[in-house]
Copies of this chain bind each other. A is one copy, B any other.
């Protein structure tokens, strides 16, 4: 390979969005980028784009209800969360274990309301899969750090 081809390759790599450029070999960077994308899609109220970040057979394990299975049910779940007053989701990766085309991520989340106040803080465990050229959430389990509120 001559130098020109290498330079073109480098230029192409630099122009790709992070979530793709990092690929399955660097899941931590790609998953952090995917989480930022998740937060951005959520923040603009785009439940469909959030759901598209899951695998076709993706599943949510949300607290205080049953398993939510499949993209269409996942889209409804996040739409309902938006409508209930959760306006922003912040995800922070604590660790990523790379397992080839799979990865396990643990992290923390903060949910924010309309006025920017934190509504809830908690933690999650996500099983990611590299599908269709992107890291996608396949299993997503979380819970709150806050004591149960008895109103």
Contact = CB atoms under 8 A, between A and B. Distances in A.
Interface of A: 59, 61-67, 97, 99-100, 102, 104, 106, 123-125, 127, 139, 141-151
A67 B125 CA distance: 11
A143 B99 contact: no
Contacts of A104: 102, 104, 127, 139
Contact of A106 (B59, B97, B106, B146): B59
B106 A143 contact: no
Shortest beta-carbon contacts, A-B, top 8: A125-B141, A63-B143, A99-B99, A143-B143, A141-B141, A104-B127, A61-B123, A125-B125
B151 A150 contact: yes
